[in-house]
Amino acid sequence: MAQWSNKDASSNSVLWAPTSVNLAPNTTNRDNLFGNTTADAFITGETVGMFGADVTEVGVSNGSVIAVTITSPGSGYSANATVTVSNESGSGFTANAQANATGYISAVNISAAGSSYETVPTITISAPTGKTFNANSAVANTTEFISISSNVFQNNDIVTYTVAAGNTVLSGLTNSTSYYVVSANSTGVKLAATRGGTAINITAGLNETGHTLTGQTATAVPVISSANKGIAHAGWNLRTVGSGGRAGRTQYETLVAMGSMLNADADAEDTVLKDV
């Protein structure tokens, strides 16, 4: 059986490439690795795929945003959030952030991939809307429970307590200070000074509504195609995209350098590695 050939298709890709992700060098693993863009499919915290790059694709710089990696899901989101783009080397990329039922941003959905990106743009997800409560009627002296309508905060979420100007800070809490959520349910929360700690003893205050708990803002990093690839040679290349602290960082390792990589008949894909 041939180890590889120079036509960009899964059946012609490098048979021994799966050994790079600690899998047996067989056709099933080879085909799964070919063109993969699914995170964690082979290595946790990484997106690893094998791609055939021709000379045109190696030299191209017309990058577009092909994915967005969430680096922190935030907390306290009761609705989808807007995404603002800055530091752009290209243009046209738009997206929105999707909140789930537990108050976290679970995905950043791309509306338009944009074009001409040579470097990764910066995106900012809007902050969650604070949950306002009445310092008297929503605070239970005996249980330390704060009632919040349609609460989405989860245990261990970090929230910041703020008080509107002219209002009185609740006894036991400090204005503009972060606390951990404990004993959360759909109707409200208790607050602790440490993760999983004992609920803080708070006392109901005046009949004021200017008291707010705000979750953390989600963060994410785009992944762009083509631009600044760092591909040393045309041929079969292993593409790795990091996550977490290395989110959006793309590295290419040449498996087989080839002077002629054919894609005239049917280029396997034109999204990650573009011809234009």
Boundary-marking domain end, from 215, 247, 266: 215
Boundary-marking domain end, from 110, 127, 144: 127
**Residue pair 158/115 in contact by the 8 Å Cβ criterion:** no
- Do 204 and 247 lie in one domain? The reply is no
The 10s digit of each residue's pLDDT in 27-52 is: 999 999 998 988 889 998 888 999 98
- Do 155 and 115 lie in one domain? The reply is no
Structural domain includes residue 43? yes
- Do 192 and 133 lie in one domain? The reply is yes
| Residue 41 amino acid letter | A
- Do 210 and 185 lie in one domain? The reply is yes
Q: Which domain holds residue 55?
A: 10-61+228-257
- Do 96 and 147 lie in one domain? The reply is no
- Do 167 and 118 lie in one domain? The reply is no
Whole-model pTM over 0.85: no
- Do 92 and 43 lie in one domain? The reply is no
The 10s digit of each residue's pLDDT in 101-135 is: 999 999 999 999 998 887 789 999 999 999 999 99
